[in-house]
Amino acid sequence: MKLCFSGLLTYFVLATALGLAACTSFPSENQDPAKNNKATYNKDLRECQEDYPEVGSGVHYRQWIGCMNLKGWK
């Protein structure tokens, strides 16, 4: 029983750390001051989400981040 709990705890800690790292790396500020507003951000994010639909493995988050980076968001 102790081995099973230890494995679950390790898995939980690893999943939490990866989740926090993914949240902090999502782009939120555009290099172009004229485009650095909520309306443009939402438009660009919506376009990226249309180009790269959600998949069960979570790969779409990296694709969205790459797409947003190409649009000037850092």
Contact 25, 65 (CB under 8 A): yes
Chain centroid to Cα 63, Å, comes to: 8
Say what angle helices 38-51 and 59-70 make with each other, to 10 degrees.
130
pLDDT the model gives residue 25? 79
Contact 58, 21 (CB under 8 A): no
Per-residue pLDDT, averaged over 1-20, amounts to 66
Q: Give burial (CB, 10 Å; 0-12/13-18/19+) of 56.
A: exposed
pLDDT in tens, 13-68: 767 766 666 555 789 999 999 999 999 999 999 999 999 999 888 899 999 999 99
**HSE-up of residue 64 (Cα within 13 Å, Cβ side):** 22
